[in-house]
Amino acid sequence: MRPLIGVSLIAENEKYMVNRDYAEAVFRAGGWPVLLPFITEEETIVELAGRLDGLLLTGGDDIDPGLFGEDPMPGLGQVEPERDQMELILSRVMMDSQKPILAICRGCQILNIAAGGDMYQDLEKQRKGIQHAQIAPRSHASHRVKVEPGTLFHRLVGGGEYRVNSFHHQAVRQLAPDFMVAATAPDGIIEAFESRNHPFILGVQWHPEGMKDKTSDKMFASFVAACQA
């Protein structure tokens, strides 16, 4: 039986949306994607988490810096407070329940905040380095990441370096205490992390659903397999 994988959404112009690549990647890997509307009642979110086998936190708009004690910088883009609130609660409930989480781009940032970390609001102003918002097709792998040996991600990639696409101007800064670095960009930005104690948590700053390479497929397959365990 296919596991039920919650997939977070974007809200725009009174509509919910999600890039089809997320749902298709989950389905190809053997899971049922379940699209999650914004819910802010904690009791309902807890009930929802009990019915899910795993959680895919997707990309999207910027994250409210008030969640980690900062005022907005000039480069901050559109934020979605309802989405932030739901994903914070749902992430914490799923972590407490030891259920698998794959967090992509914005998703890895909100997951890190949920676990006690923080983030850069605007890389261009706060941290000089390589281009992280590429001007190239989504499938193009624009920069290298250095993979940390002995990590879950190292087992998926099977090598010391891996090339990824990049579409972000925010990023993880201080990693939550329970998380460990799994990969970094050439300028030192955290590109992937995982949990020291949870059986399957993987956060990645790039968009594997858009790359459609063997490593990305393996990442989704490993996530869905963990949801079936």
pLDDT of residue 72: 92
Return the CATH number at 53: 3.40.50.880
pLDDT of residue 169: 82
Tell me what pLDDT residue 166 has: 75
Whether the per-residue pLDDT at 144 is higher than 70: the answer is yes
Q: Which residues are marked as active site?
A: 105, 207, 209
What pLDDT score was predicted for residue 143? 74
Task: Kindly report the average pLDDT of the chain as a whole number.
Answer: 91
The string over 70-89, giving b where at least 16 C-beta atoms fall within 10 Å of a residue's C-beta and e elsewhere, is eeeeeebeebbeebbbbbbb
Which residues is 168 bridged to in the sheet? Answer: none
pLDDT of residue 133: 61
Phi, psi (5° rounding) for residue 94? Answer: -65, -40
Count: domains in the chain: 1
Give residue-wise pLDDT tens across range 5-22: 999 999 888 889 999 999
Domain around 21: 4-227
Q: Which amino acid is at 28?
A: R
